[in-house]
Every structure is written in structure tokens, then in C-alpha cells.
Amino acid sequence: MSEQKQHILTEKEYQKIVKDKEPKRPVVRNCIRAFLVGGFICMLGQAISDIYIYFFNFTEKSAGNPTSATLIFISVLLTSLGIYDHIAQWAGAGTAIPVTGFANSMASAALEHRTEGYVLGVGSNMFKLAGSVIVFGVFSAFIIALIRTLVSMIGGA
């Protein structure tokens, strides 16, 4: 009897033990790193956007597209050279949250699976990580735009 009771207890306590044994995550340190690197990437984006505005006659609004394309290019290049993953290891969310992280996930999936061929490897694995962003982004955008449009239709009529 008692043995069985103890068994149940250890089963229940197992998660707690796992949690205690797990190394504590240095949350504050990680947040500072994410803040510094994420902030720097956004500041770089601001500089690129200003270059497009001042030297290539883009407006503040139209400069957004070439700016993200440029950041994506830099990110893919750094991923290909193996540099981005080193920065990402240090910066955590600081490199994952900017649009560069989206490009990094696509480029690293493309590189990782190229040995399986260009169609089955590169083509079908490129969106392995980025796919969920697009699926949930598009679906939530659809619902939100639908609500907004219906509300304005009813309000307008």
C-alpha cells in the first residue's frame, strides 16, 4: 500500500523535480541582450530607410518595402556565411523577432535541406518555420479585415 502511495507521489512530484533541476534561465540578461540587438537591428532599418528616402527619392511610406528587402538580403547573406546563427545564440529574441529572423529561418531551412534536392529539399522545407507565421498572419488578418469591413458597411448603410 505505502509503496504504491509513494509511487503516486513521485509521479506527481516528477514535474516539480524536473523543474527544480532545470537550469534557471537568466531572464534579465536575455532581455537586455534582446533589447540591445533588436533595437540595433531596428535602428539599422531606420538608417536604410533614410538612405532610400534621401538618395533614391522614396517617400516615408514607400521606403518600407525596399528597406525590408535590404534587411532580408543582409540576413540571408549572414545566415549563408554562418554568422547569423552565432549572433542569434547570443541575442535570442533580439534576432528572432525582427523581419531578419523570418528570413533567417527560411534561408537556414533552405540550406539545411539542399542535400535532399531542390524540389523536395529546398522547395518544400523553406517554409517549415516561416509557414506558421504566414498561415496565422493571413488567417487572423482575414478575420480582422472581415470584421472591420462588415462594421463599416453596416455603419455606412
- List the interface residues with another protein, window 9-38 (CB under 8 A): 25, 27, 30-31, 34-38
Cβ-based neighbours of 53, under 8 Å, separated by 6 or more: 59, 60, 63
- Asked if residue 132 binds another protein (CB under 8 A), the reply is yes
Does 120 engage in binding with another protein (CB under 8 A)?
no
Contact 27, 35 (CB under 8 A): no
Per CB under 8 A, 97 contacts another protein:
yes
Closest CA to 116 of 128, 105, 104: 128
87 binds another protein (CB under 8 A): no
Q: Check: CB of residue 104 under 8 Å from CB of residue 133.
A: no
**Distance, C-alpha 60 to centroid of its chain:** 25
Q: Is 137 in the site for another protein (CB under 8 A)?
A: yes
Task: Write each residue from 53 to 72 as x if it is in contact with another protein (CB under 8 A), else as -, in one continuous string.
Answer: -----------xxxxxx-xx
Instruction: Tell me: does residue 81 bind another protein (CB under 8 A).
Output: yes
